[in-house]
Amino acid sequence: MTTNTDQGPTRSRRQFDALKKAINPEAFYRREIQNVPAQLKINNEGWTQNLRCPFPSHDDTTPSFGFNVKTGACRCNGCGESCGSVIDAAMSLHRLDKIEAYDYLKSSYSVELGAAPVRFPRFFVFQGSVLMLPVFLSAER
């Protein structure tokens, strides 16, 4: 999808911060791990109750993993894995480097950030003029 040339693999600190802000930690963990109950107990600091650890290296028989709905951090008292953000978590869960995790999160969670506006307008103009606009107009009028 992306090429590893000069323009490719750098993301600014600001882009990472914007991505972190754009992704709701609870939504992230609900999607990424299987066992999050509908009624999640959360303490004052934002930490969830203990859940079964999602890290593949840990066969967790007694739930010992929790995440923070405010910060996106995670930690497991069983295996000692921890992460500081949803980006860290994506790196650990999917064995990605930081850039890959950024791209994974951005595309998986449909995050629109200021840095890459090219894709949407191109898609929109193509679809709009050729396909969607006529459909839209005929449906509306």
Which residues of this protein are in contact with Zn ion, per CB under 5 A? 53, 58, 76, 78-79
CB of 48 to Zn ion, least distance (A): 14
Q: Are 72 and 86 in contact (CB under 8 A)?
A: yes
CB of 29 to Zn ion, least distance (A): 14
Q: Are 64 and 76 in contact (CB under 8 A)?
A: yes
Residues of 94-132 as b/e, b for ≥16 C-beta within 10 angstroms? eebeebebbbbbbeebeeeeeeeeeeeeeeeeeeeeeee
Closest CA to 86 of 133, 8, 27: 27
Report the residue number, 36 or 79, with the smaller CB distance to Zn ion.
79
| Helix (H/G/I), strand (E/B), else coil: 121 | helix
Q: In what side-by-side order are the strands of the sheet with 74-76?
A: 65-67, 74-76, 82-83
Report the residue number, 19 or 74, with the smaller CB distance to Zn ion.
74
CB of 63 to Zn ion, least distance (A): 10
Report the residue number, 81 or 103, with the smaller CB distance to Zn ion.
81
Report the residue number, 25 or 66, with the smaller CB distance to Zn ion.
66
CB of 80 to Zn ion, least distance (A): 7
